[in-house]
Amino acid sequence: MKELQWEKAAGNGLLNRRHLLQLGLTGLGAAGAGAVFGQDAGSILQVPEWSRMPGASASAYGEPSRFAGNFQRMAGTPDPIYPGGGASRSPLQFLQGTITPNALHFERHHAGIPDIDPAEHMLVINGLVRQPLVFSYENLLKYQMVSRINFLECSGNSGALLRGGSADGTAQSLHGLLSCAEWTGIPLSVLLDEAGVLPEARWVAAVGADAASMGRSVPIDKALDDVLVALYQNGEPIQPGQGYPVRLFCPGWEGNISVKWLTQLKLMREPAQFRDETSKYTDTMPDRSSLQFTFPMGVKSLITSPSGQMSLPRPGIYQVTGVAWSGRGAIRRVEVSADGGATWADAMMQSEPMDKALARFTIPWEWSGGPAVLQSRATDSAGNVQPIRDEVLAARGTISFYHNNCIQSWGVDDAGAISNVYV
């Protein structure tokens, strides 16, 4: 039996990551694909049909293959009393690598997506500055830009795991308010410098041009550090759902503060205390005090395959893969467990981890056909380690649900069915 030679790395079938290079692994990728060749192994392979006729012509804007599977965001049902409000989630269990295609980047809108004509869009800087300024889109395009690959995660992502109840779902439905893209834009510090920030300015209130005029306050030190006034996403103009023509982008911080459809930046002494930094995006602790301005997203990881509502067709060797990220640095290490956290093995990073960006990990696992609990645990470059769910609940209670970075447990039953479990 060949399996006996695979070196075990941890309990319940986790194999040494170096075997990745030798194994033909079963990945549970996109739906549908995988009907094995119609021939017997011994028969003569034929040139396929599509090699015998010309295909479709070049197109103006591409689409995925009709065979690629169900690559769709999952959007909530529209609510008539919340016009345009709601979210759509990225299909994490079907994606590979670390970059989210623009059309699949998660969305959260408080009053829908405005249809902005960039010729009439303005970006204003006012308040505690030497000279208030207004910038046209045309002029913003003329500035020297920088590009950065960063994740964006809604602080409400994974919140269902803290609310109690069963939370049956997929990687997408439970954790899909997470994406990663290359953002290109003007360092905010350049535009602030042009307006001349007065010494007493401590906060920048950012406001969008959507119907909610959604606003958030950004501390001045972050604003002068790595915040972008972003104009491009993965090379193309930012899509309307992401803030076309211009959005704020605050690397590593809760998604809501990267204000979309950015139209105003006001320098202030104190935070503006907008509704979405008081009533929402705040966390009430067991003692009933509430944490406000919790900005960096904690170190976190998630196995995307195999994951919730998938099923393993038969015992054998599988590729376990997922993503890891931290708002406080780069990912230094991801460990995987197949026995609910009793033993851990180091996963292999698929590419060089970057600061405040998704990193992809992978490790081979031999499923025996018995019960298993798959988990991943990330450590970032600042030494922060992803906590288990009980630690988060013990520290934060069950009232708050934002900023949850706990370890996800995927239970595998005897039949190979996978679901979210609490261990």
11 binding ligand HEC? (CB under 6 A): no
Of 89, 110, 121, 266, the one binding ligand HEC by CB under 6 A: 110
Nearest to 107 by CA among 242, 230, 232, 247: 242
CA 39 to CA 397: how far, in whole Å? 57
List C-alpha distances in Å: 163 to 174, 289, 422.
12, 18, 12
Minimum distance of ligand HEC from residue 85's CB (angstroms): 5
Neighbours of 32 (CB within 10 A): 11
Q: Name the residue nearer to another protein (CB basis): 198 or 291.
A: 291
Of 201, 207, 246, 407, the one binding another protein by CB under 8 A: 207
Question: Do 150 and 117 touch, CB atoms closer than 8 A?
Answer: no
126 binding another protein? (CB under 8 A): yes
Roughly how many angstroms between the first and final C-alpha of the chain, as a whole number? Answer: 34
Of 1, 53, 58, 81, the one binding another protein by CB under 8 A: 81
84 binding ligand HEC? (CB under 6 A): no
| Binding residues for another protein restricted to 181-200, rule: CB under 8 A | 190-191, 194-195
81 binding ligand HEC? (CB under 6 A): yes
- Tell me the per-residue interface mask from 132 to 151 with another protein, x by CB under 8 A, - otherwise: xxxxx-xxxxxxx-------
Question: Do 112 and 87 touch, CB atoms closer than 8 A?
Answer: no
| Binding residues for ligand HEC restricted to 235-294, rule: CB under 6 A | 275, 279
List C-alpha distances in Å: 335 to 176, 202, 251, 252, 323.
21, 40, 25, 22, 12
Which tokens belong to 83? 């016009």
**What does DSSP assign to residue 16?**
-
Nearest to 262 by CA among 310, 307, 334, 214: 214
At 423, is the secondary structure helix, strand, or coil?
A: coil
Torsion of CA 250, 128, 140, 231, to 10 degrees: 20
Considering CB distances under 5 to 8 angstroms, the limit depending on partner class, which of another protein, ligand HEC, none binds residue 20? none
Of 32, 33, 78, 82, the one binding ligand HEC by CB under 6 A: 82
* H or E element at residue 140: helix 137-140
Count the site residues for another protein by CB under 8 A. Answer: 65
Residue written as tokens 């018995």? 370
274 binding another protein? (CB under 8 A): yes
Q: Name the residue nearer to ligand HEC (CB basis): 154 or 312.
A: 154
Q: Name the residue nearer to ligand HEC (CB basis): 110 or 247.
A: 110
Angle at 363 between CA 19 and CA 104, to 5 degrees: 135
Q: Name the residue nearer to ligand HEC (CB basis): 46 or 279.
A: 279
Minimum distance of another protein from residue 361's CB (angstroms): 25
Q: What are phi and psi of 152, to 5 degrees?
A: -135, 130
Residue written as tokens 């076309």? 244
130 binding ligand HEC? (CB under 6 A): no
- Tell me the per-residue interface mask from 393 to 412 with another protein, x by CB under 8 A, - otherwise: -----xx-------------
Query: For residues 366-399, b (16+ Cβ closer than 10 Å) or e, as one string?
Result: bbeeeebbbbbbbbbeeebebbbbeebbeebeee
Considering CB distances under 5 to 8 angstroms, the limit depending on partner class, which of ligand HEC, another protein, none binds residue 51? none
Count the site residues for ligand HEC by CB under 6 A. Answer: 6
Classify burial at 3, counting beta carbons within 10 Å of its beta carbon; exposed 0-12, middle 13-18, buried 19 or more.
exposed
Residue written as tokens 């997506």? 113
Contact window for ligand HEC (CB under 6 A) among 81-89, 179-187, 227-235, 296-304? 81-89
Contact window for ligand HEC (CB under 6 A) among 39-47, 62-70, 79-87, 313-321? 79-87
Q: Name the residue nearer to another protein (CB basis): 77 or 279.
A: 279
- Tell me the per-residue interface mask from 84 to 103 with another protein, x by CB under 8 A, - otherwise: -x------------------
**Interaction site with ligand HEC (CB under 6 A):** 81-82, 85, 110, 275, 279
**Interaction site with another protein (CB under 8 A):** 81-83, 85, 110-111, 119, 122, 124-126, 131-136, 138-144, 190-191, 194-195, 205, 207, 211-215, 219, 222, 253, 263-264, 266, 268-275, 278-279, 282, 284, 288-296, 328, 398-399
